[in-house]
Amino acid sequence: MKTCPFFGVCGGCKFDFAAPDYREKKLREISSLPLTGDAVWTDVGTRRRADFAFADGAFGFYQHRSKNIVPVQMCPLLRPEINALLPALRALPWGGAGSCLVTVCDNGIDISIDANVPYFSSDFRAAAERLQNVIRVTWGGRTVMMRATPTVTFNGHTVEFPPNAFLQPTVPSERALRDMVVDAARSARRVADLFCGLGNFTFALNADGFDIAGTGTRRDLNTHPLTVGMLAQYDCVVMDPPRAGAYAQCKVLANSNVSRIIYVSCNPATWRRDANVLQRGGYELKTLIPVDQFVGSAHWELFSIFDRAA
């Protein structure tokens, strides 16, 4: 395949991931960053979650720069389980308009729907119950049908997967990030895993996790970051915040004595802002490696290490 057959029609990708110059073009997005190592690339066909749109009975991806919906037959980026389900999803009796997040979990497929109407029809429920390999469907947080509780596994630890929960888009990139984080924290005595989510890093590090939901202590780190006193018990902090970054927590970390900060970011712009805060506080950037886990898009994941200057 020399080009994706849907590129330029479907709006899911900014870059044609099948083109021979894909990597060169995508790297230009972060050419101003002080990278210290080669990019980690993710294979096509491994994406385990996709956010589809529906409106006026149509189901698919938005057309490029448009609210028109392209009823894609398949997407080369997605895992086979999702592509196999697309015909049945398009055939559902959709009502209203909204989004449909499809996630491949360990024990089946989870579907989470957000719509501009709070209800679903009895016909929709009946059709959802006939979906193959789907174990749960929710609509606006309400259960349409559930055969089993979806689960995901991190480093041998299986946890429940809540509707709309954060999950790295591919297993290979999830493992690559976890391996880099574990290696960087290898000499740490005690680790705090901030914005820990469901525990991709928490279990592997035997860390204390903090987040609004998921594994660990419930805490909104944007409004209530860990204090300098709380951070005193940790010699290493791992952070993997949402796209908004970790500005409030970084301002506190800049005044702490934490020896090493491992920062995983899905937004180079907020990473740069937060990195400036840490560097002004006396931390030195030691490692910055990009990970192309959002294949085809303009988005990069960044893995970085900051050490407290001696």
User: Which one is catalytic: 10, 75, 236, 266?
Assistant: 266
CA angle 151/84/162 to nearest 5° reads 20
Known active-site residue 105: no
Q: CA 56 to CA 147: how far, in whole Å? A: 28
Annotated catalytic residues are: 266
